Amino acid sequence: MKYFIFGSGSIGRQHYNNLQVLGADVKILSWKKINLEETLNEIKKLNEGIGVIIATGSDVRTQLIKELTKFDISLYIEKPLAFKKKDIDFIYSLPKKILKKSVVGFMMRYHPIILEMYKLKFDDYFRANFEIGLDVNCWRDNWKFSKSYASNSSGGGVLLDLCHEIDIANLLCGPGKIKNVYSLLSPKFPGVDIASTLIFSNKNNYIYNVSMDYLAPTLLRQGKIIGKKLILEYDIANNLLKIDNGKNKEIKSYDVDRNTLFLSLMKDFMALAEGKKVSNKLIPRLDKVKNVCELIASAWKKREFVGELATKLR
């Protein structure tokens, strides 16, 4: 099995390192420097047993996917899948054979806290909240927001960047419908949301919200699901889960790092591509995550900019 990575930014390089750790035959390609025709010819000669990781900006993926799916191929597409409905519609028009052996990069589905909460999921909750925030200037070394895809008004912004939380919320509380999306922007980056709050309702008309920002001075990644008989409260930044039934409170701690989640999903993607059994029933297989992918794109389109906030975004 041969694997190709399109996109040599930080996430592409992380996937490359992980595939090497997993013993894969892998080649990484810079999107800015790629000879696409030459690469497609190389893939054509292989004809079968091909896995492709797409770690480019979401604005250039559709044409690439059109070319790649001419072959018998498995796709690992970084989140978000797409931010335009027409692109999502195109991807879901692909042959079912491809959809069933491809994934979207929602690796948080491999976090033990999320897996535990899913197992404990209950139907009598009536409200929930999920939030994530971190100063974007601190994300990576030798990196500037202003030079990144995230600062682009077409497909950038915090809602798409941190859409894992939308997937988590809908996995645990959904599927949901969007009620409102309220966003703030920076005067320096018109059309780019630097903080967004999304409000959803589910089939029982229970409300839950997701908040995200590029501004918090330290990592904030937590949430709470409140029901009549049980409260689940998690803190992924500190790997803690609290389970409270009103009589007893249990606090669980976990030893997990972020790259372990990437490795776990990549290992399952390789299994899927190679026709083997996967480890996690919540694997974000492309044919099973259409709802949340559509929801993310719809939420991005529905952003209502309610104000500006001066920031030190570089």
> Residue 149: which CATH number?
3.30.360.10
Secondary element (H or E) of residue 144: none
**Same structural domain, 77 and 184:** no
In a domain, 300, yes or no: yes
**Same structural domain, 222 and 232:** yes
**Same structural domain, 112 and 228:** yes
Predicted local confidence at residue 180, as pLDDT: 97
In a domain, 139, yes or no: yes
Condensed to tens digits (0 to 9), the pLDDT of residues 115-151 reads 999 998 777 889 999 999 999 888 777 778 888 888 8
Q: In what order do the strands lie in the sheet with 240-244?
A: 249-253, 240-244, 231-235, 220-227, 125-133, 207-213, 193-201, 177-185, 304-308
In a domain, 52, yes or no: yes
Low-confidence ranges of the chain (pLDDT < 50): none
**Same structural domain, 29 and 6:** yes
Number of domains the chain contains: 2
**Same structural domain, 226 and 116:** yes
Considering only CA atoms, give the Rg of the chain.
20
In a domain, 190, yes or no: yes
**Same structural domain, 201 and 302:** yes
**Same structural domain, 163 and 29:** no
Predicted local confidence at residue 88, as pLDDT: 96
CA 202-206-209 angle, 5° bins: 80
Three-state secondary-structure class, residue 80: coil
Residue span of the structural domain in which 72 resides: 2-107+265-286
In a domain, 314, yes or no: no
Which tokens is 66 given? 């059109």
**Same structural domain, 117 and 250:** yes
pTM for the complete prediction?
Answer: 0.94
Condensed to tens digits (0 to 9), the pLDDT of residues 265-309 reads 999 999 999 999 999 999 999 999 999 999 999 999 999 999 998
**Same structural domain, 30 and 101:** yes
Predicted local confidence at residue 207, as pLDDT: 92
Secondary element (H or E) of residue 234: strand 231-235
